[in-house]
Amino acid sequence: MSDKDTPPLTGKDLARKPRGFPDKRESLIHAQAGLVETITGVYRQWGFEALETSAFEYADALGKFLPDDDRPNAGVFAIQDDDEQWMSLRYDLTAPLARFVAEAGQSLGKPFRRYAAGPVWRNEKPGPGRFREFWQCDADTIGAPGYHADAEMIAMGAEALRAVGMAPGEFVIRVNTRRLLNGVLDGVGATSADTRLAILRALDKLDRLGAEGVADLLGAGRMDESGDYTKGAGLGASEVTRVLAFAQAGADTRAETLANLVKATGDTEEGKAGLVELEAIAKALEALGAPEGDVVIDPSVVRGLEYYTGPVYEAELLREVTGEDGKTYRIGSIGGGGRYDDLVARFTGETVPATGFSIGISRLAAAMQIMGETEKLDGPVVVLNFDKEDPTSALQLATELRRAGIRAEAYMGASGMRPQMKYADRRSSPAVVMVGEDELAKGTVTIKDLEMGALKAKAIKSNEEYREARPGQFEVPRAEMVEAIRKITEAQK
Amino acid sequence: MSDKDTPPLTGKDLARKPRGFPDKRESLIHAQAGLVETITGVYRQWGFEALETSAFEYADALGKFLPDDDRPNAGVFAIQDDDEQWMSLRYDLTAPLARFVAEAGQSLGKPFRRYAAGPVWRNEKPGPGRFREFWQCDADTIGAPGYHADAEMIAMGAEALRAVGMAPGEFVIRVNTRRLLNGVLDGVGATSADTRLAILRALDKLDRLGAEGVADLLGAGRMDESGDYTKGAGLGASEVTRVLAFAQAGADTRAETLANLVKATGDTEEGKAGLVELEAIAKALEALGAPEGDVVIDPSVVRGLEYYTGPVYEAELLREVTGEDGKTYRIGSIGGGGRYDDLVARFTGETVPATGFSIGISRLAAAMQIMGETEKLDGPVVVLNFDKEDPTSALQLATELRRAGIRAEAYMGASGMRPQMKYADRRSSPAVVMVGEDELAKGTVTIKDLEMGALKAKAIKSNEEYREARPGQFEVPRAEMVEAIRKITEAQK
């Protein structure tokens, strides 16, 4: 399978991996597993049940809903099966769910409420923080036509983020509906695709350019500081005012935002329908006890995936964080979702109302790592091994410790005392146990408390003094080993 | 991407998935997650730390170690990256670990002891119980030359299987070394590849044909009952006796088996080296407290993966089970491992001693399902929804129940009372809560205990009587709802 034009790699050059597929170490894996456990726990508490599908689906069953469709595989990893049908690795957990629901048909019973956690794959250009494999954790309700089902997704998403430790003000879930924006566009007479795109692009710059700059872009056009000119969307003055009023409708409470939107969206069918959606969602959010600060209505939200048909939700971390490299990061989007009433209809012809929420587990775990919130886990007690030919004593002692519930290992390498001590340090061991010939003869073990030893060693000046004092080191009868180790590990907690 | 010779699928025909990639439901997912948690818990307790690699590796970095190499992709799923390098989905967790170790080089520090759990993919012919995606849970020690490291893997594997509920006698880990068999083959003068293969094939039939049939196959050949003749390996009588003695060396204890093997393997270099390995392992197993019944030395074990260099281990479930279809299944192999000292050397040129153990999580979870040992999980309390326009009451009550720690949902579909009750039954709900206009006016809720209701309903003859009695159903003040539900869920435990 190697490229015929280049010689096959050998030696160290072989030891490389594709970009965008990171290896994960202890603390990140632990953080990720904790996130999955906590979030699926919340989903379960809200009545959802587990359903997991496999990595592969037939490519045509997945459909093409990714925004990245200017690449040959439209953003997915695809491969031909033995019978030359194309299979793709899933790019999210929603499209496979729609296939499952369509395949199960009437036998499934509805509503069907499921949760799932697992990796998804996107064949995109990898970059810093942009992975090609990442975990998501989803909940979906299939067969729920009412917008209270959307509100449930949103309120549950907020609860899940609180459950993993996000305080009020550290995150927000923004809610919008595609109909509202369509209504506004209809209302200002923006019917051509070009004009609508120009308006969307202008609105996307509100944060950066402010209302004045965006007004120029919505109207005749705008010259920036470098002298570059951007052609405007060509709206008249009153239309510009209405679009801006819409984009700036966000207020302190969901009720105020809705009141502003009523003024801004005017009289179009789509706009009115969108307001009905958002009003129903706001009312249900109230009943579900979703705090105002956690969930806001925000007319600027647009989700990238193309299968959404109504309300869309976007979860964002608000905290700015400083990474180990001293740079400031904005974490940004860590999840979202929306209503996708037509996704099952691709298969069955019948519209099946559906809504779902997805949390980006890898994104959130990476954020926790940047924020310094991943835990450094305790290492095992290491029983040093002084007899390479017969490690029986070390194996027995480690077994004894483990049977007492203590995380422990007998040293497994081929090195002498000093590297074994270094190994224990590197593993963040709370203590090491040593049994040499002396100890064997006396029926004792020597224990070194590595944390106390390090503390005491700071006060010691010379190597000679160190060897004399042996800080943190003491000898106990073998029968008292477990008790002595337990004291050390408990003191270090 | 669809095949140009056939029209694209539409409608229900689209809703299909590739074979060998099963969807997983609640109880299986729960069983699998429990297995991963318990087994990685044991690995952690023995001092291993988490390291996870991604699904994709460059194909040449993975190497070709699968036995299935008569197919174009040699058993893997491969795809070309943007720069036309071939990437493969990992077929196990060991080959990516070797890449990681080689890439990290000296900075990693050794021994490096890691555990991992995750899916692997094999591009094999799917069949009943033969999946193309399945989970494994591995532990590996890199940089451990002593055979006590192998013994540790074996003893830990046995402890992990006990930890997930396998009783003594329900499983066994069989230990062998490739050197021993090579020694025997050398000892009987079986130097040609053909003869060696004929001997291995004959030994593989020991269970089915017994010693006499295998003796024929090792010697001149054998005619079976149908009259078919199989050519033999052509060994002389004393060689046949020696090979059979080797194959039948298994005894009640590891020490006896070793004594039998000493007699059978004779004087070859490889045979003696193999015995040294097994003796060291047996001694360390003693120190690690591995019960005789859990771990046996079995000269018939051969592992499929080609990277093993010394000791190999195979874990097998012994229980025969009867499935729901009435058929009897032998679960067979559920894990194994071995020493792979040359795998890192592919990259670095330097031999890095390594040994690992892998448990087949999907296999084990499927086994538990067949054995009826997967748990049926409790459903949520369902709050019925009588007002499609305004579901506020149902949402509030479900929120209240969840805040009290009770798994609960408001009904999200669009159906009437009867289908809502059916839904609650299908979800195995312990109880439903109903609030109609009457209850709203009175400030009460009506609760139905579904388990008690079903019990009482059995004694009821007519529909009329049923409607009169409303078995298991009662009304409480709204403020007492949580307490009443808690009583029901606790009584059902």
Instruction: Give residue A304's pLDDT.
Output: 64
The B residues from 20 to 39 touching A (CB cutoff 8 Å) are 21-26, 29-30
Cβ contact, residue pair A15, B55, below 8 Å = no
Instruction: Give residue B70's pLDDT.
Output: 46
- CA of A246, closest CA in chain B: separation in Å? 27
Residues A419 and A413: their CA atoms lie apart, in Å, by 9
B149 → closest Cβ in A148, A393, A412: A412
Among the residues of B90-205, which ranges form H helices?
Answer: 94-104, 147-163, 178-187, 193-203
A493 in B contact zone (CB under 8 Å): no
Residue A253 tokens read as: 């409470």
Q: What is the mean pLDDT of residues B153-181?
A: 94
Q: What is the mean pLDDT of residues A405-433?
A: 95
Instruction: Give residue A74's pLDDT.
Output: 64
Report percent pLDDT > 90 for chain B: 62
Residue A13 tokens read as: 């050059």
Residues A421 and B45: their CA atoms lie apart, in Å, by 20
A149 → closest Cβ in B51, B393, B412: B412
- CA of B406, closest CA in chain A: separation in Å? 7
- CA of A104, closest CA in chain B: separation in Å? 9
Tens-place pLDDT, residues B344-380: 999 999 999 999 999 999 999 988 888 888 888 889 9
Comparing A233-237, B144-148, B177-181, B284-288, the range with the smallest average pLDDT is: B177-181
To which H or E segment does residue A24 belong? strand A24-25
Instruction: Give residue A194's pLDDT.
Output: 86
Chain A residues within 8 A of B283 when measuring between CB atoms = 390, 392
A22 → closest Cβ in B54, B79, B414: B54
Alpha carbon B24 to chain centroid, angstroms: 14
Cβ contact, residue pair B102, A26, below 8 Å = no
Tens-place pLDDT, residues B228-250: 898 999 999 999 998 999 988 98
Tens-place pLDDT, residues B385-429: 998 889 999 999 999 999 999 999 999 988 999 999 999 999 999
Nearest to A105 by CA among B376, B377, B16, B325: B16
Higher-confidence position of B175 and A223: B175
CB A100 within 8 A of CB A348: no
B17 → closest Cβ in A3, A77, A99: A99
Q: How, if at all, do strands B171-177 and B295-297 pair? A: parallel
Residues A182 and A188: their CA atoms lie apart, in Å, by 10
Interface residue of B1, B156, B339 to substitute, partner A, most A CBs within 10 Å: B1
Instruction: Give residue A30's pLDDT.
Output: 94
B395 → closest Cβ in A58, A87, A288: A288
Nearest to B490 by CA among B460, B456, B452: B452
Q: CA nearest A71 in B: which residue?
A: B82
Instruction: Give residue B224's pLDDT.
Output: 84
> How many A×B Cβ pairs under 8 Å?
306
Confidence of residue A72 (pLDDT cuts 50, 70, 90): very low
Residues A304 and A124: their CA atoms lie apart, in Å, by 14
Domains and their CATH numbers in chain B: 18-167+297-370 (3.30.930.10), 381-491 (3.40.50.800)
Chain B residues within 8 A of A50 when measuring between CB atoms = 24-26, 29-30
Instruction: Give residue A73's pLDDT.
Output: 55
A287 in B contact zone (CB under 8 Å): yes
Cβ contact, residue pair B78, A77, below 8 Å = no
Cβ contact, residue pair A44, B426, below 8 Å = no
CB A397 within 8 A of CB A431: no
Instruction: Give residue B63's pLDDT.
Output: 83
A111 in B contact zone (CB under 8 Å): yes
Chain A residues within 8 A of B149 when measuring between CB atoms = 412
Q: CA nearest A78 in B: which residue?
A: B79
Whole-Å CA distances, B188 to A255, B180, B246, B472: 89, 13, 11, 77
The B residues from 182 to 221 touching A (CB cutoff 8 Å) are none
The A residues from 335 to 364 touching B (CB cutoff 8 Å) are 346-349
Chain A residues within 8 A of B349 when measuring between CB atoms = 11
Q: What is the mean pLDDT of residues A243-257?
A: 92
Tens-place pLDDT, residues B275-322: 999 999 999 999 999 999 999 999 888 666 678 888 999 999 998 877
Confidence of residue A136 (pLDDT cuts 50, 70, 90): very high
To which H or E segment does residue A346 belong? helix A345-348
- CA of A306, closest CA in chain B: separation in Å? 19
- CA of B179, closest CA in chain A: separation in Å? 20
Burial class (CB in 10 A: 0-12, 13-18, 19+), B213: middle
The A residues from 396 to 425 touching B (CB cutoff 8 Å) are 396, 398-399, 402-403, 407-414, 423
Whole-Å CA distances, B216 to B116, B186, B212, B392: 45, 20, 6, 81
CB B111 within 8 A of CB B137: no
Kindly compute the dihedral angle of the four CA atoms of residues A404, A405, A406, A408, in this order, to the nearest 10 degrees.
Answer: 90
Give the other-Cβ count within 10 Å of B418's Cβ: 8
Residue A181 tokens read as: 């924006």
Tens-place pLDDT, residues B419-458: 999 999 999 999 999 999 999 999 999 999 998 888 888 8
B402 → closest Cβ in A45, A84, A113: A45
Cβ contact, residue pair B47, A382, below 8 Å = yes
Instruction: Give residue B66's pLDDT.
Output: 67
The B residues from 295 to 334 touching A (CB cutoff 8 Å) are none
Instruction: Give residue A475's pLDDT.
Output: 96
The B residues from 423 to 442 touching A (CB cutoff 8 Å) are 423, 426-427
Cβ contact, residue pair A99, B149, below 8 Å = no
Tens-place pLDDT, residues B50-94: 999 999 999 989 887 766 544 445 688 998 888 888 999 999 999
Tens-place pLDDT, residues A114-131: 999 999 999 988 877 789
